[in-house]
Every structure is written in C-alpha cells, then in structure tokens.
Amino acid sequence: MTMVTARPRVAIVVFPGTWSERDFAHVASEVLGWEHRLVWHLEADLGACDAVVLPGGFAHGDHLRTGAIARFSPIMAAVTAFAAAGGPVIGSCNGFQILTEAGMLPGALMRNDHLEFRCDWQWLRVERPESAPAWLGELADGELIRLPVSHGEGRYVADPATLDELEASGRVVLRYADATGALAAEANPNGSERSIAGIVNAAGNVLGLMPHPERAAEAEVGGTDGLRIFRSLERWLQHRPASAERRL
C-alpha cells in the first residue's frame, strides 16, 4: 500500500502571459495549506505532484488562437502524460482553452458573441458531478454555485455530434445559469453552445472550465464556492483508488 501524502502537492503551470498562477498559489498555500510549485512552461518535468493546474491568462499573448502556441510548450508533454496516467488536471479560463487546443478536451473556445470582455460573478449549474470525481466530488447534481468569469473568448463551440455525445455521456458538468438555475440566454455570458461552461474528459480526470474557482476561495473576495472544487480534490486524493495513485 502506498502512503497517501497528507498535504496535496499541486503543479501550477506558468506560460508567458499566464496571469492567474499567483491566485492559485495563494489559495493552495494560504487557504488550503497545500504544497505547490510554479512550473515554467519550458520545463520538461512537473516534479512530484498530485494534481496539475493550467491557470488563466493569455499564454503566448493568445496569438493565432487562444492556447494554440501554449499547446506546443515543452511542459505540455508532461501534462499530457500525467493526464493519460489518470492524474487530475484542471484548466481554468485560458487553461481550458489550452486543453482544447491540445486535444485533451473536445471543442474550442471562441470570441464572446457580444465581442466584449466579460468580468463578473456568474451562476453555474452543476451537472453529473460524478463524471469528474476528482474535481466535483463534493458537489451535487443540479446545485447552483457562483464563480467569477473573466474572459473575452469563452464561447464554447463543437459540432452537434460532439455536443450530443458530451451530454449523453454526462461530460457537460457546468452550465451558465441564472440565479434560479434556468439556462436563459441572458444568463449565458459569452454565447456558448448549450450554455456549456465546463466539460470533463472521458476518463473523468481532466476538467476544463471558463470560470475561475481560485477567485472564489475566501469569503473576503465574495464567495467560497470555488474552494469546494479544491476540497473535492483533497478528499478524492485521500480516497483515490490504488490504480489512480501518482505514477510519475
């Protein structure tokens, strides 16, 4: 039996232009008491870690397409290998864009339909949290959470067959909603297809979401719903099946 580390260790990947890594690091060390390491994109090794974070920002200036250049950064080979071995990976905002460009999640994120940058608190409806046990294990199907969004290119698109498949397999795990949980067009901050705010890969360990859970981890900043995502990981790491233990 392998000893489970008491303090989760998270690798936070930093590309040129990433801007949310300090917020994640703050939450990891100051709020959660986790160990963390900022990993520069030119590194080839994530080091010993239990989870990987791809934070928000504008990796490589978002040139060509969001995430298009970051996908080829040397560290991405290690991130892909970590994910393929079942390791939990979360990509928020620009991190979600990178995950789609890297082919680790389906679809793409495009310019908001109203062409404006949107920075605001956003209600989200949680769906099928069991599809992403490492990240949403502490959340309930159908419940509403509130997280900040902050993006200009968050419109999730995929072809209808892919969207149908994501929904049928329970891989749409977060949708933009209003305060009542309804998926009204006015509650969709970017024009995403089917109000999709977050999806998970088929194996359930790679989560991509446009909102910023790291900006909702302390009551002082307006909410703590984001913290529940990290608490889910903590709990999952304590109880993870042997097959999912870190192998790097």
Partner 1 sequence: MRWLVEVHVALRQGISDPEGQTIGSALRSLGYGSVGNVRTGKLIRVPFEAEDSATAEAVVAEMCQRLLANPVMETASWDLRADEQQGAEEAVPS
C-alpha span between 10 and 20 (Å, rounded): 14
Should residue 101 be labelled a site residue for partner 1 when binding is judged by CB under 8 A?
yes
Listed as own residue / partner, the contacts of 157-161 with beta carbons closer than 8 Å and 24 or more positions apart are 157/107, 157/108, 157/109, 157/110, 157/192, 157/193, 158/106, 158/107, 158/108, 158/193
CB 52 within 8 A of CB 13: yes
Q: Which is nearer to partner 1, 14 or 70 (CB)?
A: 70
Query: Active-site residue 93, yes or no?
Result: yes
Should residue 208 be labelled a site residue for partner 1 when binding is judged by CB under 8 A?
no
Residues from 61 through 80 that contact partner 1 (CB under 8 A): 64-65, 68, 72
Segment interacting with partner 1 (CB under 8 A) among 48-56, 87-95, 99-107, 212-220:
99-107
Q: Which is nearer to partner 1, 159 or 164 (CB)?
A: 159
The amino acid occupying position 88 is: P
CB of 40 to partner 1, least distance (A): 22
CB 128 within 8 A of CB 172: yes
Which member of 3, 6, 44, 115 binds partner 1 (CB under 8 A)? 115
Query: Active-site residue 212, yes or no?
Result: yes
Set 93, 101, 127, 151: catalytic member: 93
C-alpha span between 230 and 233 (Å, rounded): 5
Q: Which is nearer to partner 1, 60 or 212 (CB)?
A: 60
Closest CA to 21 of 32, 31, 10: 10
Query: Active-site residue 218, yes or no?
Result: no
Segment interacting with partner 1 (CB under 8 A) among 24-32, 88-96, 112-120, 134-142:
112-120
C-alpha span between 9 and 50 (Å, rounded): 5
Interacting residues toward partner 1 by CB under 8 A? 64-65, 68, 72, 100-101, 106-108, 110-115, 157-159, 191
